Chain A
Amino acid sequence: MNLMQRLYGLAWISIRERLHFRFDFFMTLISNLMFSALFYMVWRAIYTYSDVHVMSWQVLITYVMMGQAINFSRWSPADRAPVYSASTRIRTGDIALDLVRPIDFQLRRFTEAIGFFSVEMLWVNIPSFLLFIIVLGITPPKDIFSAIGFLISLLIAFIVSFGLNSIVMMISFWTTNAQGAQIAKKAILDILSGTLIPFDFFPAALKAVVVHLPFQGMAYIPLSIYTGKLTGMAMVQALFEQLGWAIVMLMISRLIWMQASKRITIYGG
């Protein structure tokens, strides 16, 4: 069996594994819709009470609601489960079994993440997206280029997110408190990725910082492509920038993993 077939098989196993937790995903959808409603009302109030508008209501609400539909910092089983299971395996020592398996530890986690992401797409992201279009009347992408650009950007965002989750997971080799690390990650992402607030609302100093961070690849870039803020060459450039960050994040997580696996050997030694 070649590598691709093996990866495909492993990803398919994780998808089927996750489909068993339908109720979890159903409740993730419910809570996602609930939070979206919360942010919809908060933004409506903000828009009503502001004198100067940074962007039109339609663009704003499309951005914010799409941010909730593709939210990579959502408190979902897809996001939590891999990190928690890794930290549990480290605590119980089962991690040793993962290390002797004939497939690379991180590659295995990657196929797992693909499984989670696909099921979350199917159960949470796409239903939320359709509901937002029908109920809230958010704008669909303005042309086919924006739509394709958005989909490509979403896939790269998944890789950036995997890189970050992988780093958080590696932190659990040093601490057993995966929950604390997870809370911090979610809080940082909410703001620095541009999920909750479009960067255009930020003060100039903060904006100058966030556009040089990898987190923008998980919300601001895909959402700006979706809302038509980034088009043509600017879009292509943003996609390359995002891809660059994806590679950097993967490399960092790889480096930490090499350190972490050495650490286990020392402990087991």
Chain B
Amino acid sequence: MIAPKRNALQQLVYLLGLYRIYLKIYFRTLIEYRTDTWVALIGGLCAQASTLTFLTVIFQRIPRLAGWSYYELVFIFGLAATGRALNQAFLNVPYSLNGYIRSGMLDVFMIRPVGPLFQATGMSQEINGVGSALTGMVILIYAASHLELHWTFAKGIYVAVALISSMIIQLAVLLAIVVSAFWILEIRSIIYPVGWLYDFTRYPLQIFTPFIRGLLTYIIPFALGSFYPAAFLLRPHLYSWAGLVVPFVAILLFILTYNLWLFGLRRYSSASG
């Protein structure tokens, strides 16, 4: 069957509709395997609680860390952790792509009339992330309620923009690694450590050596999706540049990686071929 011609807007509506169906399917599996769902939610909750305990125990002993107060640190942590969890929940696709390539599922995606990346994304929801995201948001709100941030509508919008940027920056970085799986099939062990680098950005960047700071700002810019937007919300005058740079870098990175992905896809020869 040949896909009907659609303009950009029609295509967007069509894809959103499809994504809704993917979510519906996923939701049904969640209800079907109820114990699994509970285990996943509790797992996510434990993970966030564990790091929060770490922060709390430590910061009972010190008033400030590199100029940041306890609640400011919790705020940074909450924003970073929520971005990570949302990425895991909805854009977990880089982790599952390797499996799709190995099993030949990618070939199946390629003969269907929608982009393979979209199909893979639709099939890669991860409920563990939802538990963490909910906990992350509670932590974020808890910290915000103890800080005098003078919330405005614009700031609220910026939190959403920052979280989406964070998701996209992580997706772009990890996807770039997966594209190399078209040439090197053993990628699983590299993608995990790179993903974990993100955990560094849950702390104020000032505590790290210049090398780590540079790495997380310029080379693998995870910090642009976590520490900098949080710092911008906390100290707008000091980090004013982050306001626009964050969403801009996210869009730019996504365009770059998406083209890399298309390039890789053209060069792709099936794993089982």
Contacts and interface: CB of A to CB of B under 8 A. Distances in A.
A266 to B, nearest CB: 17
Interface of A: 23-24, 26-28, 30-31, 34-35, 37-38, 41-42, 44-46, 49-52, 54, 75, 171, 174-177, 179-184, 186-188, 190-191, 196-197, 201-203, 206
Nearest to B58: A46
Dominant SS among interface residues on chain B: helix
Interface string B20-51: 00000000000001011101111110110111
* Among B37, B64, B65, B66: residue with most chain A CB under 10 A: B65
Nearest to B197: A34
A21 to B, nearest CB: 9
Considering the complex of A and B, which 9 residue pairs feature the smallest CB-CB distances, nearest first?
A27-B189, A45-B207, A177-B36, A180-B43, A187-B50, A183-B43, A180-B40, A31-B193, A187-B46
A44 B35 CA distance: 42
Interface in B49-74: 49-51, 53-54, 57-58, 60-66
Contact of A180 (B49, B128, B208): B128
* Among B43, B63, B188: residue with most chain A CB under 10 A: B43
Contacts of B61: 46, 50, 52, 54, 201
Contacts of B218: none
A23 B191 CA distance: 13
Contacts of B272: none
A191 B50 contact: yes
A45 B66 contact: yes
Given A45-B66, A175-B35, A27 B46 contact: no
9 contacts: A52-B61, A175-B39, A177-B40, A181-B39, A183-B43, A183-B47, A184-B39, A197-B58, A202-B57
Contacts of B192: 27, 31, 75
B258 interface: no
A165 B224 CA distance: 37
A177 B39 contact: yes
A183 B45 CA distance: 9
A54 B61 CA distance: 9
Contact of A187 (B47, B58, B208): B47
Contact of B207 (A27, A41, A182, A183): A41
B260 interface: no
A49 B36 contact: no
Interface string B76-111: 000000000000000000000000000000000000
B232 interface: no
A49 B208 contact: no
Nearest to B208: A41
Contacts of A180: 36, 39-44, 127-128
Given A183-B46, A183-B47, 13 more contacts: A31-B193, A35-B196, A42-B207, A44-B207, A46-B65, A175-B33, A176-B33, A176-B36, A179-B43, A180-B128, A184-B42, A184-B43, A187-B51
B203 interface: yes
Contacts of B41: 180
Contacts of A23: 186, 189
Nearest to B34: A175
Contacts of B128: 179-180, 183
Contact of B43 (A49, A75, A182): A182
Contacts of B7: none
A23 B41 CA distance: 32
A260 to B, nearest CB: 14
